[in-house]
């Protein structure tokens, strides 16, 4: 399908401008200015609304009542379609690995990923663990944690069928540095997280190959003036990007601003850490056999432990902008370009440029989603859209 999006405010990582975008065969062919009319090309009038490169979520556990832990043949399809409702065009399915188990949920998802999805593209798996600190496990069940083992890593790679893109790991554990080096050798992102590491242990992990951080501030030691912990090492390491849950709950607005000022717009990656309640209303749900409550976009166990959000990426991007007052171009970086960069996909994704995939999201000024396109295909249209 060929179409032109006219009169859009194009929000690219390198700037904002008004113009048209021509899409042919799932690829952006022309950007900017006024594109000539053609009889064989459909017209979409953006009416001055915001056109962003499609958002990419590197950390989403579930949505629409489904969870990556479900060994269900429609789990990716459901998450994919809900993602599109919130402007996401690609995602990493985030889940855990159970040692001494068949991990059927991984095999089923790997099989389903070979089918055509109706919404956002599945870009691979992100595993939180199993080589993480029991002390900082958060919502992760103890049966999904074990000591680092290269042999077990081999089993993980076999069960994820070549689709493992990121692994969260605690570098202070004995044997973890060997795991990190092996992940780097295989082109898999080693992400610091669920860790009780000290400042020095974090630096050793970064030296071994850690290039990313899972949900900054959460499930790690805080900053202290005599025991700075991992945060100082992360802030000082320009080669490391960091996930941020900008809901104002996991991280209060002032700390979001602090992280933004210390990391800058090139190192922050917005994530949802979305769970099955994402796309549904407030209520009580079950994760990994344990009940939790989703209220006002935050999900907690009965003891108050935060386990993720029920907010979409467009909503988190709106809150991040509210907290930081950063320009739209910077939002395009933290929600689109930077996650694409983490995955090595900037040649095809992350900006509205000629030659790139037509992964696009049209937003109102309040960041509510009007239309989402994945590879030029309309995957979501708001019932309130007038175009």
* Cα–Cα distance measured from residue 234 to residue 348, given in angstroms and rounded to the nearest whole number: 28
Closest CA to 363 of 341, 325, 336, 337: 336
Residue 316 lies in a domain: yes
Active site residue ranges: 273
267 and 251 within one domain: yes
Residue 110 lies in a domain: yes
Does residue 130 have a cis bond before it (omega within 30 degrees)?
yes
385: pLDDT strictly greater than 70: no
Question: What's the domain range around 159?
Answer: 55-342
176 and 92 within one domain: yes
Count of structural domains, the chain: 2
295 and 252 within one domain: yes
Average pLDDT, the chain: 96
* Residues 111-162: tens digit of each pLDDT: 999 999 999 999 999 999 999 999 999 889 999 999 999 999 999 999 999 9
36 and 104 within one domain: no
367: pLDDT strictly greater than 80: yes
Residue 386 lies in a domain: no
Tokens of 108: 């089923």
CATH number of the domain to which 282 belongs: 3.20.20.140
* Cα–Cα distance measured from residue 123 to residue 90, given in angstroms and rounded to the nearest whole number: 6
187 strand-pairing partners? none
116 and 188 within one domain: yes
98 and 23 within one domain: no
63 and 31 within one domain: no
The pair phi, psi for residue 109, each rounded to 5°, is -65, -40
Residue 289 lies in a domain: yes
Q: What is the largest CA-CA distance in the chain?
A: 69
354 and 223 within one domain: no
* Cα–Cα distance measured from residue 149 to residue 175, given in angstroms and rounded to the nearest whole number: 7
115 and 250 within one domain: yes
Tokens of 318: 């709106």
pTM exceeding the 0.85 threshold for the entire prediction: yes
CB hemisphere CA count around 180 (13 angstroms): 27
386: pLDDT strictly greater than 80: no
N-to-C CA span, the chain: 17
82 and 38 within one domain: no
Q: How confident is the model at residue 305 (pLDDT cuts 50, 70, 90)?
A: confident
């Amino acid at each position: 399908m060929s179409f032109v999006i006219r009169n859009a405010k194009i929000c690219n990582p390198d700037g904002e401008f008004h113009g048209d975008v021509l899409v042919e065969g799932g690829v952006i062919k022309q950007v900017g200015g006024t594109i000539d009319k053609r009889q064989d090309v459909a017209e979409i009038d953006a009416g001055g609304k915001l056109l962003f490169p499609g958002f990419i979520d590197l950390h989403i556990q579930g949505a629409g009542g489904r969870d990556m832990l479900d060994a269900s043949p429609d789990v990716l399809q459901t998450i994919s379609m809900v993602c599109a409702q919130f402007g996401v065009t690609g995602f990493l399915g985030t889940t855990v690995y159970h040692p001494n188990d068949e991990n059927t949920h991984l095999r089923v998802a790997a099989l389903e990923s070979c089918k055509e999805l109706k919404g956002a593209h599945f870009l691979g798996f992100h595993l939180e663990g199993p080589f993480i600190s029991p002390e900082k496990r958060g919502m992760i069940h103890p049966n999904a944690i074990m000591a680092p083992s290269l042999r077990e890593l081999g089993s993980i790679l076999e069960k994820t069928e070549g689709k493992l893109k990121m692994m969260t790991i605690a570098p202070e554990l004995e044997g973890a540095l060997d795991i990190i080096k092996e992940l780097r050798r295989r082109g898999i992102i080693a992400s610091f997280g669920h860790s009780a590491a000290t400042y020095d242990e974090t630096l050793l992990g970064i030296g071994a190959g850690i290039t990313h951080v899972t949900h900054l501030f959460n499930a790690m030691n805080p900053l202290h003036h005599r025991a700075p912990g991992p945060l100082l090492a992360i802030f000082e390491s320009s080669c490391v990007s960091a996930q941020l849950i900008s809901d104002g709950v996991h991280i209060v607005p002032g700390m979001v601003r602090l992280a933004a000022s210390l990391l800058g717009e090139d190192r922050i990656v917005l994530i949802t850490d979305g769970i099955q309640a994402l796309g549904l209303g407030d209520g009580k749900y079950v994760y990994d056999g344990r009940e939790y409550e989703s209220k006002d976009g935050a999900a907690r166990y009965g003891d108050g432990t935060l386990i993720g959000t029920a907010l979409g990426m467009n909503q988190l991007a709106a809150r991040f902008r509210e907290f930081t007052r950063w320009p739209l171009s910077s939002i395009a970086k933290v929600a689109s370009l930077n996650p694409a960069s983490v995955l090595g996909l900037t040649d095809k994704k992350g900006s509205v440029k000629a030659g790139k995939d037509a992964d696009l999201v049209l937003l109102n000024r309040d960041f509510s989603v009007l239309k989402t396109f994945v590879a030029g295909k309309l995957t979501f249209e708001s019932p309130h859209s007038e175009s």
